[in-house]
Structure 1
Amino acid sequence: MKRAAALAALVVAALALFLAPRPPELSTATTGDPALAELVRDAAGQEEHRGLSVTLIEDGRVRHAGVGDTGGPDPRPVDQNTSYELGSIAKPLTGMLLADLADEGLSPDTPVRDLLPRVPFSDPAVASATLAELSSHRAGIPSVRLTPVGFLRSYLYVFAGENPYGTAGPQSMLDDAAAVSAGKRGEVSYSNLGVALLGQALAEHAGTGYEDLLRTRLLAPLGMDATVVVQPGEPLPAGRAHGEGANGQSMEPWLDHGHAGAGGSVWSTSADVARLVQAVMAGSAPGADAARPRFDADEGERIGYGWFTTRYGDKEITWHNGGTGGFGTYAGFDRASGRGVVVMGNTGARVDGVGLRLLGAEAPDGGGPEIRPLIFALAFPFAGLGLLYAAFRGSGLDRVSVVSRVLWAALFLALGHTAGGWDVVPPFVWALGAGVLGAGLGAALTRWPGLPVSAKPVKWHTWLSPALAVALLAGLAVVLVV
């Protein structure tokens, strides 16, 4: 039995190495300014990035560099014109729209209900939230509306890289805003829903759609022609970067255009966002006053209309970042030095540290990895230990329990592959877990001829455990393939 278990463990572990998670890594591909590219690689360190597009503004000079590639079926070197999912950097754009419209007479203290009178807000506190409160995350509105469907989508995102927002349009977003209740107002509490609501309110005030308002008042004047809000049925930008998760799986774009004001379905390039940063630093951008700090946030941070301002030692950085399932972005600048930076990456890894290092600021400690992905990586792959122990212990083992244990261990192994923290845990750990399952199966098969069908009288519930495992495995397979 020991020999069979050891042989099965070696064979299965060896085969599993070919299927083990493949965390993203920067390739040797380089475009643009070689010196800047080297700085970017140094700043990125050993973090799991696939392709980084960076634009640095310094002493009035703009430099571009790309390191790594786009990923996807036809990987190509990234450059300053490679399109990435922008994420929450769209929030300060919406704040700038507010500041620009305020210059024409729209009061930031206007309650949102005045601009959206047809929305049946269930909570008067949400209806009375001001435009300034929405833009600075001080309205007490939750980040998202929690529903059973939304809860399911959040887990599909974790396990299969699905878009947790779906293709929610403006009406769906307004329905969510009408249904939620506000918490404590006046304190900064980050809210995607609140800024999406602001974007729609400003568009309604202007008598147009959000994407048209953004294009007319901000993007066109700045020459940001590569920044787009992708509408339903429209193709994604040509030559785009493809998002990846920590295990190398493809991540679905977040095409929730109803949340465009908060970053949903917005794509851009580092060169385009650099035009924004330059103009905000110079004070020439429409609504540039949005970057002026107005309200206290956490731990010494201050916030304007969407833009955060944080002190790092002797440097004061005005910034915003973005993060979706497969993309990380950062835009920031130091007014005192006149230096600005835009960093775009096509994995879920944050790029804030890269941007801060290029700005000459000391990036703060990230606080360590999340616990849930570590559990998926360290515990789930080793569910086969139960079968291995039972096979050697012998008592109570039967054919139904062997099949059930194998199926459940395979399910947990699959879940560990898709949701594990493979940016922290070495991927060979997954193959080791597969080897443990192989050892358990090998040991159990040596005992198989002498095992009863069931150690207890066979009843309908005897088959419940293996049947449930088969159903869950089939469901996971459908989610991953479809």
Structure 2
Amino acid sequence: MSLTQIDLEKKLAELIDQHRVPGAQLAVLDGDTITEVAAGVLSIRTGSPVTTDALFLPGSIGKLYTATLVLMLVDEGLIDLDRPVRSYLPDFEVRDTHARDTVTVRDLLRHTSGFDGDVFIDTGRGDDALPRYLDAIRDLPQIAAPGSIWSYSNSGFSILGRLVEVVGDTVFETALRDRLLAPLGLQQSVVFAEDAIPHPLSVGHEPDPEDPDSHVVSNPWGLYRSCGPMGASLVASAGDVLRFALLHLDGGVAADGTQLLSEELVAAAQVPQVSLVDDTVLGEAWGLGWILDHFGDVAVIGHDGNSLGQNAFMRLAPEQRFGFCLQTNVESALAMYRELADWLFSQRLGVSLRQDPAALPTRVVDDPDRYVGTYRREGVSFEISATGDGSLVAGLHVTHAAAEMQSMPPMDDLPLVPVERSDSFLLRVPIADSDLLAVFFNPDDATAAPTYLHFGGRAHQRI
């Protein structure tokens, strides 16, 4: 069944009302046609309506642009995916010297470096923002041996951004504009806030601390320049995000026929590199930059993005040449995304997105002591405790800089709901609008006591 612009407009308007999202933008690819619709307002402060040419913060969807720049340098013979990063960046340092010397470019692209990843540091607005960032993370701690587990790493992509600068003899934003945005003809994509001023522009929204059922405008608007390769540089419309993604559906060929990336590397980027343990949060595996998943029997690629008060999602079925990009101006729109993705893919392809394992009828855990303890990564700590009836609760303490920019409510005594999968639970945190899968695991011995808690795409090491 084909979906008309009227169908999409009606559905988007229904969803933002149902999920209390101030504004949203949706672009849907079907064959060679991209249909763009919009609903709601860009800002509750101004009431300006969302338009299809408005710019949002796609957040970490921008990591796909960084990955593409790296792969273009691989194509040119300037980077080898399996060489250590330090062979290109001699000044690269992290706390663990073995990781410093052995982490490869491939490890960074697939998030298997093993070092902590959510370090957001303001290193200034100058062209030296990334070299200064690398200097600031010289003591970045290790939570696992390189290549041993998957854990989402923002820091790894700022390192890749610096790699683009050094190997390409440029600055990151220049490479992004000159090598991708301009050749792809992306007119609603910019890289700095001041570039966005001439465009209709979305601002972020977060819960009002005095009335959590209402929103206030997020302040500040975006992250630091040092976070650019993590996705903070990109400001774009949903339609432009899909027009970028077409490069990876068309074998690396731009709309004007220019071969920007080899067909071989486009295909390689969509080959599973590592499986994910919390596979319903993002997908079942990771490629070279891409989330990889299946909706039913349909292979799907994509990426999600969070910025300050904005949340974006993109999923594509390459073989069927169908998919979408949803951009919202609220900090958590996961429930809206899931409902939209399920509707789009069931209507068009007859498949549904991956579901969480079903909750068990009781919260009582047979061996709660197996899980009790503190699990930590840089800026985030989980305290897992057992209650008197044998169930588990989590306390979450977040201290990294991105969290400090937002109003974080208390996150204590959060119930862990056992599901029909061993060592797995559903957990709802107050800053999210959906349950997320929390998985306890031991990469060395699945039957032994867990040594990690995986939640929100990140591994937290048991202390």
User: In the alignment, is the contact (CA less than 8 A) between 1:99 and 1:290 conserved in 2?
Assistant: no
Whether 2:234 is the aligned partner of 1:266: answer: yes
| Cα distance in 1 for residues equivalent to 2:115 and 2:294 | 27
> Could you tell me how far 1:167 is from its partner in structure 2?
5.7
| Cα distance in 2 for residues equivalent to 1:344 and 1:246 | 18
The equivalent of 2:36 in structure 1 is 64
Give the RMSD, CA atoms, in angstroms: 3.3
User: In the alignment, is the contact (CA less than 8 A) between 2:192 and 2:233 conserved in 1?
Assistant: yes
User: In the alignment, is the contact (CA less than 8 A) between 1:49 and 1:346 conserved in 2?
Assistant: yes
> Could you tell me how far 1:218 is from its partner in structure 2?
1.7
Deviation string 1:12-36 (CA, Å, 9 cap, x unpaired) is xxxxxxxxxxxxxxxxxxxx93221
The equivalent of 2:274 in structure 1 is 296
Deviation string 1:82-113 (CA, Å, 9 cap, x unpaired) is 10112100111111112211111121112111
| Cα distance in 2 for residues equivalent to 1:179 and 1:47 | 41
Match 2:140 to one of 164, 180, 183: 180
User: In the alignment, is the contact (CA less than 8 A) between 2:109 and 2:288 conserved in 1?
Assistant: yes
User: In the alignment, is the contact (CA less than 8 A) between 1:115 and 1:202 conserved in 2?
Assistant: no
| Cα distance in 1 for residues equivalent to 2:189 and 2:321 | 24
Q: 1:84 aligns to what SS in structure 2?
A: coil
**Distance of aligned partners of 1:322 and 1:421 in 2 relative to their CA distance in 1, 3 Å threshold:** closer
User: In the alignment, is the contact (CA less than 8 A) between 2:123 and 2:225 conserved in 1?
Assistant: no
Q: Relative to total residues, which structure has the larger strand share, 1 or 2?
A: 2
The equivalent of 1:357 in structure 2 is 343
TM-score scaled to structure 2, two decimals? 0.65
**Distance of aligned partners of 1:215 and 1:422 in 2 relative to their CA distance in 1, 3 Å threshold:** closer
Match 2:48 to one of 71, 76, 79: 76
User: In the alignment, is the contact (CA less than 8 A) between 2:274 and 2:287 conserved in 1?
Assistant: no
The equivalent of 1:118 in structure 2 is 91
| Cα distance in 1 for residues equivalent to 2:16 and 2:137 | 38
> Could you tell me how far 1:210 is from its partner in structure 2?
0.7
Q: 1:265 aligns to what SS in structure 2?
A: coil
What is the 5 A alignment of 1:179-198? 179-182=139-142, 183-186=144-147, 187-198=149-160
**Distance of aligned partners of 1:334 and 1:422 in 2 relative to their CA distance in 1, 3 Å threshold:** closer
Count, aligned residues: 336
Whether 2:109 is the aligned partner of 1:135: answer: yes
The equivalent of 1:282 in structure 2 is 250
Q: 1:359 aligns to what SS in structure 2?
A: helix
Which letter maps to 1:329?
A
> Could you tell me how far 1:332 is from its partner in structure 2?
1.6
The equivalent of 1:257 in structure 2 is 225
Q: 2:252 aligns to what SS in structure 1?
A: coil
Q: Provide structure 2 residue ranges, at least 5 long, that are not aligned to the other structure.
A: 209-214, 254-259, 360-393, 397-406, 414-428, 435-463
| Cα distance in 2 for residues equivalent to 1:60 and 1:135 | 29
Q: 2:216 aligns to what SS in structure 1?
A: coil
The equivalent of 2:375 in structure 1 is none
| Cα distance in 2 for residues equivalent to 1:60 and 1:38 | 22
The equivalent of 1:171 in structure 2 is 131
> Could you tell me how far 1:81 is from its partner in structure 2?
1.0
Which structure has the larger Rg over C-alpha atoms?
1
> Could you tell me how far 1:119 is from its partner in structure 2?
3.8
| Cα distance in 1 for residues equivalent to 2:303 and 2:267 | 15
| Cα distance in 1 for residues equivalent to 2:49 and 2:356 | 28
> Could you tell me how far 1:315 is from its partner in structure 2?
2.0
> Could you tell me how far 1:184 is from its partner in structure 2?
2.4
**Distance of aligned partners of 1:176 and 1:71 in 2 relative to their CA distance in 1, 3 Å threshold:** same
The equivalent of 1:246 in structure 2 is 207
Whether 2:104 is the aligned partner of 1:103: answer: no
| Cα distance in 1 for residues equivalent to 2:205 and 2:175 | 31
Q: Relative to total residues, which structure has the larger helix share, 1 or 2?
A: 1
Q: 1:344 aligns to what SS in structure 2?
A: strand
The equivalent of 1:90 in structure 2 is 62
| Cα distance in 2 for residues equivalent to 1:268 and 1:256 | 17
**Distance of aligned partners of 1:357 and 1:44 in 2 relative to their CA distance in 1, 3 Å threshold:** farther
Q: 1:144 aligns to what SS in structure 2?
A: coil
> Could you tell me how far 1:137 is from its partner in structure 2?
0.2
What is the 5 A alignment of 1:372-387? 376=410
| Cα distance in 1 for residues equivalent to 2:72 and 2:181 | 13
| Cα distance in 1 for residues equivalent to 2:268 and 2:14 | 33
Identity within the alignment, %: 22
Which letter maps to 1:218?
L
Whether 2:171 is the aligned partner of 1:209: answer: yes
**Distance of aligned partners of 1:58 and 1:115 in 2 relative to their CA distance in 1, 3 Å threshold:** same
Q: Provide structure 1 residue ranges, at least 5 long, that are not aligned to the other structure.
A: 1-31, 151-163, 380-418, 425-482
Deviation string 1:402-440 (CA, Å, 9 cap, x unpaired) is xxxxxxxxxxxxxxxxx976969xxxxxxxxxxxxxxxx
What is the 5 A alignment of 1:6-85? 33-42=5-14, 46-85=18-57
The equivalent of 1:338 in structure 2 is 321
| Cα distance in 2 for residues equivalent to 1:166 and 1:237 | 26
Deviation string 1:220-244 (CA, Å, 9 cap, x unpaired) is 221123222217x766563201110
Q: 2:217 aligns to what SS in structure 1?
A: coil
Q: 2:86 aligns to what SS in structure 1?
A: helix
The equivalent of 2:189 in structure 1 is 227
User: In the alignment, is the contact (CA less than 8 A) between 1:293 and 1:302 conserved in 2?
Assistant: no
| Cα distance in 2 for residues equivalent to 1:332 and 1:179 | 36
Which letter maps to 2:58?
L
Q: 1:140 aligns to what SS in structure 2?
A: coil
| Cα distance in 2 for residues equivalent to 1:421 and 1:261 | 25
